[in-house]
A and B are shown apart, each in its own frame.
Chain A
Amino acid sequence: MAVIQIEHLTKDYGHHRGVFDISFNIEKGEVYGFLGPNGAGKTTTIRHIMGFSRPQKGHTFVNGLNSWKNASEIQKNLGYLPGEIALPELLTGMQFINMMAELRGMRDMTYTNYLIKKFELDPSGNLKRMPLGMKRKLAIVIAFMNDPDVLVLDEPTSGLDPIMQNIFIELIQEEKEKGKTILLSSHIFNEVDATCDKMSIIKDGRLISTFVPDELRSSASKTFKFEFNIKEQFERFCSEVASQRKLEVIALKRDKNQAVISVDDADINSFIHLIADYDLKFFSEVKFTLEDYFMKFYGHNSSRGGGTE
């Protein structure tokens, strides 16, 4: 049974805002990336997993327990990092940590102290006057402190400096080795790329893609880009490739006499045989990057939409 189950979750806030028919499962030990631009519906989905909101349609389960009906039971073994950090005022960081420990019935503070040290957190100051970066680190410590088996992290790295981001990624990898199940939301692709076993992309409240990055990376097909020296040969190739079932045309650039073709590894020899007849200027493999794949879903107005090679 999956640790986190989301089944046909729908919450319509009106004006096409909210989430619509979201379904995905997170298995035990998986680090799951939940990606989407701002306003896509990540926080709304997480709100339902936490049992703060009642679904209009569908259900969410954590460890087989209905989030809405068993909210407090679920929290016993769950760590939550809210997307927006709103800490109670009037407390010092340490008082807040101790209060949360008390509310969770924790006695052993060894792991908490380890986390405080790891993130170089100074919890002595008053929460009201604490700088934002420090507050974010405090929120991370709070989410992980009771060493729960399930972690729900809403945009965990936003507001962290690059050094702390790396420490955070290190922490995620440690937790993963311990077999924790982690949901990690982000609107920045690079944040989840390094850590996630599986990803879903959400846009305008709907899941538009779910994939396993490693499978995509080691996919059994390659993409090649090449340029013809002679215009006529390029035209001939264009007509020949149209009749070839085994080749997938990604792009044909007439102005540059360039072609971008994707080929299954199994068909690579017949492809080389075919291409050997032509007079080429260059021939190169286009490395697959997840970011290109991801950007495809973000629309074409992104500055990084061109991808990297």
Chain B
Amino acid sequence: MFNKTIFKQTVKENLKLWLIITLLMSVFCALLIAVFEPETISNLSDIIKGTPLENILEQETFLGMIAKTFYSIHGVILPLIFIIITANSLIASQVDRGSMAYLLSTPIKRSAVVGTQAAYLITSILVMVIIVTIIGLFSIHIFQGDTAVNITDYLLLNVGLFLLMFAISSVSFLFSCTFNLSKNSLALGAGIPLAFFLFKLMAQVDDSLEGFKYLSLNSLYDTNAILDGGSYLAQFTALTIVGIVLYVTGMRIFTEKDLPL
């Protein structure tokens, strides 16, 4: 199910993009934490009064602000970009190009090849979120020493982000395992996660579009529920189950499919 040599090689191949995305996320995270001032919120509220964006900023706490910005936009779209590109390059693009033939002409089983690639995708996202969490904690310590911040809630925001990305990556990974052509793998493996992201955003921006939230996996990452003490465990569990089921399905499809190599 796992091969160290392939894992090392995969880390190397995807390191550049991973570093760029992790860096960008860290910078955005630190920046948004640094610029937070309680007055900023009220100023902003004045500016956007009467516009559809008003709803987004109704919560005025520090974590509320971070949840509406970083954990809704930057912190979601950046790892999404990493996932879309990487999931395709892990399997489908190697089948499409033909370089997969080399891995499979060694005694390494298909299940080990695909298992290693899945392990990489999950690990890379996990490490990314952990790094951003640590950067966030430091930034809070440095820039928001005076603000009361519920660290448990902050950590839960990050756990949720990871689980969301785990589930989203399972979608992209599934299509990467299914299709032999990069373009098909990308069409669905990028299209569906992006649609999820947009549906959630639309549902938030305007009440009349709220129904769209039921079309989005991202709605299971409910930052309001986490911060307001609502129920979030069921959603977290759902994200975990979706992720596990789709990863396992993808691996099984790759292990049993016909490869035009």
- Give A residues with C-beta under 8 Å from B: 47, 50-54, 71-73, 75-76, 78-80, 82, 84, 86-88, 90-91, 99-100, 102-105, 142
Contact = CB atoms under 8 A, between A and B. Distances in A.
Contact of B107 (A47, A53, A76): A76
Given A53-B259, A99-B5, A87 B107 contact: no
B41 to A, nearest CB: 46
B42 interface: no
Contacts of A105: 107
Given A51-B104, A88-B102, 20 more contacts: A52-B104, A54-B258, A71-B104, A72-B107, A75-B104, A76-B107, A79-B105, A82-B98, A82-B102, A82-B105, A82-B261, A86-B98, A86-B99, A86-B101, A88-B99, A90-B13, A91-B9, A102-B5, A103-B5, A103-B6
B106 interface: yes
A72 B13 contact: no
23 contacts: A52-B101, A52-B104, A53-B258, A53-B259, A71-B110, A72-B107, A72-B108, A73-B107, A75-B106, A78-B105, A79-B105, A80-B105, A82-B105, A82-B261, A84-B98, A88-B94, A91-B9, A102-B5, A103-B6, A103-B103, A103-B108, A104-B106, A105-B107
A100 B3 CA distance: 13
A87 B107 CA distance: 18
Contacts of A88: 9, 13, 94, 99, 102
Q: Which of B3, B102, B103 has the most CB of A within 10 A?
A: B102
A82 B259 CA distance: 13
A104 B259 contact: no
Contacts of B145: none
B229 interface: no
Contact of A103 (B99, B106, B110): B106
Q: Which of B13, B94, B106, B261 has the most CB of A within 10 A?
A: B106
Contact of A52 (B13, B99, B107, B259): B259
Nearest to A48: B258
Contacts of A73: 107
Interface size class of B (residues with CB under 8 A): 20 to 34
A99 B107 contact: no
Interface of B: 3, 5-6, 9, 12-13, 94, 97-99, 101-110, 258-261
Given A99-B9, A102-B5, A103-B5, A47 B261 contact: yes
A90 B105 contact: no
A90 B12 contact: yes
B102 A100 contact: yes
Contacts of B108: 72, 103
Nearest to A105: B107
Contacts of A102: 5
Nearest to A143: B105
Contacts of A78: 105
Nearest to A139: B102
Nearest to A106: B106
A84 B101 CA distance: 10
The 10 closest A-B pairs by CB, nearest first: A86-B98, A103-B106, A80-B105, A52-B259, A72-B109, A102-B5, A52-B261, A86-B97, A86-B99, A76-B107
